[in-house]
């Protein structure tokens, strides 16, 4: 391995703000160009997972260049072969790999992500600095120079993940990549990703509800209701503040729940805070000396994926479906508040840890995942994302219920907080069982004598149209020459 990923605290200026980012270290030290690019990604609001994916792609490229030093004279051939080896792996049929890399084949989706991220990085690096045209492929040179050369070659020759240079070609065609990655298989959306309805009640009552600590059971039930009955993502549910649950003025037994964006959302009215009408990021800093969890790194981080808000105060409001879930939530919420109020918490988050080692701290996604998996095991199930038995499966279940109810797609879009109708396709497409049931019903309709659609006559179907397949009429036609004995 030619590089290693470590987490570093980076000081950019004389203010009190520091960035905590993963960086790459090599035997020559830190890769400063990679660090600079990561700071740019951070400024663009890129997620931690994308940053880690970028570092993995760069690390793979450096490892490949090191393992094949002195072998390639043509950079285009090296980069092209590097891309191929991501797909095929580096281990021969005899189980040996003279390069020492021992890569196993990767999926088309993963390889395409690596290529895309390296493309963006080398584009940025080539624009940032005019790198001298040196060739590090034959000599042992610092990894930094190898990356610089990759960027220079990308800009000058337009062959490494590059653009077509011909200015006469239209703009769209000029953006075509020489090495663009393979086309992945097209996937249909089915019910494998929605939490199975048949397990819901048992999981809620005896799985999550079966925790030995009643505080834990109550907390996780509330989160589950937000996901299953309100369609929230798990990170959105954990972002809930204690100030953001209200009685519905039209139905006091039901809860109104609002999830505010922690950066731009309007802060609650608080007489203890000097500044008024500020956003939540300012409020967190002034009252709690905290930063929003979407800006944190590590286990405390919570993502914010939604690009649509329901109000100018920058919040999304939970839409319960069926609406009875709002009543169940309010009933449990009142009991949960007693537990939370008994613990000193210097933060506004509704859901907290009850573990003795982190008592009162904001509840983390990792801890929720552990409790979720334990809940499944209590009812004899195992976590399985492909079968919908994971936290995000509840949002898919919510979307399917909305679709089956016959609601207008525009209403469903509002409930799911999607920007476009296309975004809700994975959540509202019919499942495999639904398709099978509809085909069964359609088949029964065909068999109905009163049906306007004629039933299939297989004998008539094979009388014509097979001249190109069976021109001699051995098996088809009105009088097949070879009949079954």
pLDDT tens digits, one per residue of 223-247: 999 999 999 999 999 999 999 999 9
Which H or E run includes 24?
Answer: strand 19-26
Average pLDDT over residues 19-26: 88
Query: Please, which residues have CB within 8 angstroms of residue 220's CB and are 6 or more apart in sequence?
Result: 208, 211, 368, 371, 372, 375
CA distance 464 to 240: 66
pLDDT at residue 299 tops 80: yes
Instruction: Quote the pTM value.
Output: 0.66
pLDDT at residue 75 tops 50: yes
> Which of 6-10, 299-303, 456-460 is predicted least confidently?
456-460
CA distance 421 to 362: 34
CA distance 168 to 148: 29
Residue 176: band (very low, low, confident or very high) from pLDDT cuts 50, 70, 90: very low
The fraction of the chain above a pLDDT of 70, given in percent, is 75
How confident is the model at residue 288, as a pLDDT? 93
Query: Please, which residues have CB within 8 angstroms of residue 321's CB and are 6 or more apart in sequence?
Result: 229, 230, 231, 398, 401, 402, 405, 415
How far is C-alpha 62 from the chain's CA centre?
27
Average pLDDT over residues 63-69: 89
pLDDT tens digits, one per residue of 178-196: 555 666 655 555 545 899 9
Average pLDDT over residues 296-325: 91
Token pair in block for residue 330:
């309010």
How confident is the model at residue 325, as a pLDDT? 96
376 or 459, greater pLDDT:
376
Query: Please, which residues have CB within 8 angstroms of residue 39's CB and are 6 or more apart in sequence?
Result: 10, 12, 19, 21
Residue 164: band (very low, low, confident or very high) from pLDDT cuts 50, 70, 90: very low
Query: Please, which residues have CB within 8 angstroms of residue 407's CB and are 6 or more apart in sequence?
Result: 415
Average pLDDT over residues 118-128: 79
How confident is the model at residue 408, as a pLDDT? 87
How confident is the model at residue 168, as a pLDDT? 40
pLDDT at residue 128 tops 80: no
Residue 275: band (very low, low, confident or very high) from pLDDT cuts 50, 70, 90: confident
Most confident stretch, 119-123, 188-192, 289-293, 306-310: 289-293
Set out the domains of the chain in order of their start, with CATH numbers. 4-174 (no CATH), 191-428 (1.10.443.10), 455-485 (no CATH)
Residue 472: band (very low, low, confident or very high) from pLDDT cuts 50, 70, 90: low
How confident is the model at residue 451, as a pLDDT? 64
How confident is the model at residue 341, as a pLDDT? 95
How confident is the model at residue 144, as a pLDDT? 64
- Measured CA distances, 26 to 29, 73, 145 (Å): 5, 24, 12
């Amino acid at each position: 391995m030619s590089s290693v990923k470590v987490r570093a605290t980076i000081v950019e200026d004389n203010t009190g703000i520091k960035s905590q980012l993963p960086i790459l270290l090599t035997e020559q030290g830190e890769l400063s160009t990679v660090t600079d690019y990561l700071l740019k990604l951070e400024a663009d609001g890129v997620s931690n997972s994308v940053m880690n994916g970028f570092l993995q792609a760069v690390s793979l490229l450096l490892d490949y260049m090191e393992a094949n030093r002195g072998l390639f004279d043509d950079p285009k051939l090296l980069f092209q072969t590097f891309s191929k080896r991501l797909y095929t792996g580096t281990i021969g049929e005899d189980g040996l790999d003279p390069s020492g890399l021992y890569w196993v084949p990767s999926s088309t989706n993963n390889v395409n992500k690596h290529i895309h991220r390296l493309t963006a990085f080398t584009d940025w690096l080539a624009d940032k600095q005019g790198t001298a045209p040196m060739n590090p492929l034959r000599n042992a040179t610092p990894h930094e120079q190898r990356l610089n050369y990759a960027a220079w070659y990308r800009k000058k020759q337009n062959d490494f993940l590059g653009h077509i240079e011909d200015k006469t070609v239209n703009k769209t065609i000029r953006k075509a990549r020489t090495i663009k990655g393979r086309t992945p298989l097209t996937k249909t959306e089915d019910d494998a990703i929605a939490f199975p309805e048949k397990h819901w009640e048992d999981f809620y009552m005896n799985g999550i509800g079966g925790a030995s600590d009643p505080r834990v059971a109550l907390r996780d039930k509330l989160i589950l209701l937000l996901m299953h009955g309100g369609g929230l993502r798990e990170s959105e549910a954990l972002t809930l503040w204690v100030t953001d649950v209200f009685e519905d003025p039209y139905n006091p037994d039901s809860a109104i729940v609002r999830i505010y964006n922690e950066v731009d959302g309007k802060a609650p009215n608080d007489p203890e805070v000097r500044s008024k009408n500020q956003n939540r990021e300012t409020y967190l800093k002034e009252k709690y000396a905290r930063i929003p969890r979407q800006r944190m790194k590590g286990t405390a981080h919570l993502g914010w994926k939604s690009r649509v808000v329901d109000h100018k105060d920058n919040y999304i409001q939970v839409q319960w479906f069926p609406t009875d879930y709002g009543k169940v939530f309010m009933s449990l919420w009142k009991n949960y508040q007693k537990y939370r109020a008994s613990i000193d918490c210097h933060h506004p988050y509704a859901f907290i840890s009850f573990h003795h080692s982190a008592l009162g701290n904001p509840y983390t996604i990792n801890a929720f995942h552990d409790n979720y998996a334990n809940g499944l095991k209590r009812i004899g199930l195992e976590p399985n994302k492909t079968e919908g038995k994971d936290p995000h499966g509840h949002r898919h279940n919510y979307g399917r219920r909305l679709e089956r109810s016959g609601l207008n797609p525009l209403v469903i879009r509002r409930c799911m907080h999607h920007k476009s109708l296309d975004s809700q396709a994975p959540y509202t497409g019919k499942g495999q069982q639904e398709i099978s049931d509809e085909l069964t019903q359609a088949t029964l309709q065909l068999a109905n004598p009163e049906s306007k659609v004629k039933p299939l006559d297989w004998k008539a179907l094979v009388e014509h149209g097979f001249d190109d397949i069976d021109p001699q009429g051995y098996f088809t036609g009105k009088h097949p020459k070879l009949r079954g004995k």
